[in-house]
Structure 1
C-alpha cells in the first residue's frame, strides 16, 4: 500500500505522512526498500557530515544508467579522487567563459518563439541546456554535435524513467525498455570515443575550455589519466545532472514569475538597469518552492547510524525529503509564499536549502547551473515581454527523476524593441569581471 501510494501521489504522500507521523517516519520505497525519511534541519546536517564509511551514497543509484565510471556510482576514496579532479572547471575563469555560449544558445532558441499565443517553454529550455552542455562540456561540433543532439534527449528521458525501476536479469534487446537504452548507450559510447580521439590529436588542446578537453589532460595524484570509459560515463553524468534538471527549473521559473506580477515587474526593471541581485534571489526561491528532485539520501553501511533522536540500523536507507524541508515554516517563514526577497540579502543555508544535495555528494555543477539559469533569464527578460497570468498554478508532473510543470511552463511573450543601453553596458561589465 505504501508503494502504491508513493507512485500515485509522491508529493502529497510525503506531506500527509509528515502531518500524521511528524518530521521523521519509515516507509518501504520502490527500489530502495526499508527507508527512513527525515526533514529536520539538524538531522539533515548531521547526515550530510557523516563519514562515508558509516553512511554512503544511495544504492541503487543513477550509476546503473550512467555507468560504473560516473561519480554517481563511485564511493569512498574513488569518489573523492574523481571529485577533486572535476571541481576546477566549474569555477573561476572557465565558468565565466561559458556565459557567452549560454547567451548564444538562448538567443538562437528564442528567435523561434511566436508572439501573442500560449506555448510550453520546457522544450525550448531543454534545447538550450542540451546545446550548452554539448558545447561547454562535450566540446562537440560538426557531425558529433548533430548526432548527440538527436540521440541524447530520448536516451536521457528513457534513462531517467528506468533509474527508478529494477534492472532485468535477461536482455530482451529492443523489445524491452532496458534493451533500447543499452542500444542507445552503445551508440553514445561510439560517438564519445570519436570526440576523445579528436581531442587527443588536437595540438591546441590546452587552449580549449570544454570539460572533455580538461578530462583528457587531467591526471590523478599518482599521474594516471582517466580512462576513455570513465570519461564517457562522467560526461553522461554531467549531462544528466545539468540538462533536464536545469531546463525544468527554468520552466518552473517562468511558471512562477508569471503568477507574481510584482516580482516580474521588478525583474524587468532590474534587467533594464543592469542589475542581477533579484534575479539570482528568484532563481534560489524557484528552487526552494519547486525543487525538481524529490529526495537525496544515504545508505547505512556501519552496524548503526546515530542520527539526532534516532539510531538507524545497517542496511536502511535514509532519505532527505527536499520538499518537506523547503516547505517548513520553521525554517522558511510563510514557506508556501513565493517570495524571492527572502534571499536578497542572505545566502541560503546549504543544510536547509538543498536542491543540489549536500555534503561530499553535493552536485559539483551547482555553480554552472545557477550561472546558466541566470543568463537564460536575463536574456529572456531583456529581449521579450512576458505576460503575467492569473491562471491556477501548474501541477507537478513526474518525468521519472525530475518533477516538471504539467503544462511545460506556459508563456505568452512579445518581443521587446531593443535592449536598453544600461543593460548592454552592464552585461559587458559583468562578463569582463
Structure 2
C-alpha cells in the first residue's frame, strides 16, 4: 500500500485508558515501570496513552510489532520527539533524521566496531586496575560510582587519546552534566525560570565549560601534522569524510563527542553495577561464572552479560515519531504526530518471550543467541552505535574483577530500580563486599 493510499484511510489506534493525561503523566514520571506493567496487564501488549512531554504515544510490548516499527522506512518514522538531541545539541545523531542520520552513522561506525575495538581493550584493563586498587575489602561499598569513573576514563581516553589536564576538567564536569541532562530530557520545556535552581541554567553553564575545553582540544588536533597516526575517535572524526568529500564541523564534532561521552559511559557503568547486584544474590551463577573464567572459557560470561541486560535493562524505552500521514503497525494505523514507544522492560519481563522472566538465569542464553524480544540497545537504524564497544567493556571489566576479587554472596533483598532520568540504576548503587583473591 502506498503512502497516498494510506492517507485516505482512517486511523486505528490501540485501546486508550480512560485516565486524565495528568494522571498518566504522573505515573509515567514517578513510577514508570510499575505504571507500564499495570497498563499492559489491563489493556494488552499495545495501548495508547497521553503524556505531558511526548503527547499521544502508542506503547508496544510485542516483538513482532517492535520489529515492524524498527524496519519501517526512515522517510515515514523519525526519532522520537522530543529526544536527547534537545540536550546534546543539533549536531548529535539524536537530532538527525533520514539521510543525514545515515550519513553520520556511516561516518562514526568504524571507530566503534570491528578490529579497532581490540585496541581499546588494554585501555579498559588499565582503567579497571587503576580504580580497583582503591576498593575496600571486607566491608560493603557501592560500585556504581567506581564503575562510572572507569567507563568515563575509558571513553575519554578512546575519544581524545590522551590524559591531558584538559581531560581532568572534563572528568569533573561530565558526570554532573550527564545527571542534569538526563533529568532535562524527561521534563517539558517550561516558559518559567527558577533562578539558580533551574536545571536548564545549570546545564547551560556546564555546556559552556564543555564547549570551551573541547573546542581547544579540537583546534589542537586539527593543527597536528601527524594526525593520521592517531587512533583516537576525535582524530578519526576530523579525518573522516562523507561521500561528497565534506567533513564534520567543529560544532558537529563537539555535539557528537558529548553524545559519546554521555551515552558511552553511564549506561555501561550502570549495567556493570547491576551485574554485581545480580551475581552476589545468585550463588550458583556466580560460582559457574568464576569456574569458567578460571578455566579460560567465555561462553557463560557472554550469557551472563546477556541475562543481566535482559533482567535489568538500563534503558526501558526506544521510540519513533510518525512523520508520514499514517503508519501501519500490525492491525493498527498510527497517524502523523504520534510517538510510538517500544517498552524494552515489558518485553524482557514477558513470560511468552522468556520462561520464568523473574528468575535470573544465564543458562537461558548459553549456546544460543537472544531472540527479537531482547532489545537492550534498541533496534533498527537507531540501535545504539556503541553496542559492540559496551559489550567489550563489560567483558573486560567482569573478567578482571572476578580474577582479582571474590564477591561475597548476599541474602539481602534485591536493590530497587532507581530512575536517574533516562537510565535505571540499582537504588543503593550496587553495594557489595569484595575480598581479594590470593
TM-score scaled by structure 1? 0.94
Q: Which residue of 2 aligns with 1:358?
A: 379
- In the alignment, what sits opposite 1:214? 236
Number of the residue aligned with 2:94 = 72
Q: Deviations over 1:189-237 (max 9, x none)?
A: 1111111112112233222221111001111111111000000000111
Please show how residues 160-175 of structure 1 align to structure 2 within 5 Å: 160-169=182-191, 174-175=196-197
Query: Any conservation in 2 of the 1:140–1:195 contact (CA below 8 Å)?
Result: no
1:406 aligns with 2:427: yes
- The Cα of 1:173 is off from its aligned counterpart by 6.5
Name 1:380's counterpart in structure 2: 401
Are 1:278 and 2:300 matched, yes or no? Answer: yes
Task: Assess if the C-alpha contact under 8 Å between 1:299 and 1:318 holds in 2.
Answer: yes
How far apart, CA to CA, are the structure 2 residues paired with 1:65 and 1:139?
A: 25
Alignment of 1:21-420 (within 5 A): 21-169=43-191, 174-349=196-371, 351-417=372-438
Using the alignment, how far apart are the partners of 2:135 and 2:203 within structure 1?
Answer: 32
The SS at the match of 2:425 is strand
SS of alignment partner, residue 95 of structure 2: coil
TM-score, with structure 2 as normaliser: 0.93
Per-residue CA shift, 1:279-325, capped at 9, x if unaligned? 11111110100001121111111111110021111111111000111
For residues 378-402 of structure 1, the C-alpha deviation after alignment (integer angstroms, 9 at most, x for no partner) is 0100000111111111000000011
- For residue 137 of structure 1, give the secondary structure of its aligned residue in structure 2: helix
Measured in 2, the distance between the counterparts of 1:348 and 1:212 equals: 33
- Please tell me whether the aligned partners of residues 174 and 183 of structure 1 are also in contact (alpha carbons under 8 angstroms): no
Distance 1:385 1:300 in 2: 50
- Looking at structure 2, the residues matched to 285 and 211 of structure 1 have their Cα atoms a distance apart, in angstroms, of 30
Q: 1:306 is paired with a residue of what secondary structure? A: strand
Moved over 3 A (4+): 168-175
1-structure distance, mates of 2:176, 2:52: 24
Q: In structure 2, list runs of 5 or more residues that go unmatched.
A: 1-22
More displaced, 366-375 or 172-181? 172-181
Q: Is the 8 A contact 1:173 1:180 kept in 2?
A: no
Moved more, 200-209 or 372-381: 200-209
Query: Cα RMSD (Å) of the superposition?
Result: 1.2
On the 8 A contact 1:287/1:355 being kept in 2, the answer is: yes
Residue by residue over 1:315-336, the C-alpha shift from the partner in whole angstroms, topping out at 9 and shown as x without a partner, is 1111100011111111112221
> What is the Cα deviation at residue 25 of structure 1?
1.0
Contact 1:89-1:95 within 8 A present in 2 as well: yes
Q: Distance in 1 between matches of 2:27 and 2:197?
A: 29
Given that 2:147 and 2:272 are in contact with CA atoms closer than 8 Å, whether structure 1 keeps it comes out as yes
Counterpart-to-counterpart distance in 1, 2:397 and 2:197: 39
Distance in structure 2 (CA, Å) of the matches to 1:302 and 1:212: 36
Q: Does 1:6 align with 2:31?
A: no
CA distance in 2, matches of 1:175, 1:122: 26
Q: Does the residue aligned with 1:72 lie in a helix, a strand or coil?
A: helix
Q: Does structure 1 conserve the Cα–Cα contact (< 8 Å) formed by 2:240 and 2:247?
A: yes
For this pair of structures, how many residues does the alignment match?
416
- The runs of 5 or more residues in structure 1 that have no matched partner are 418-433
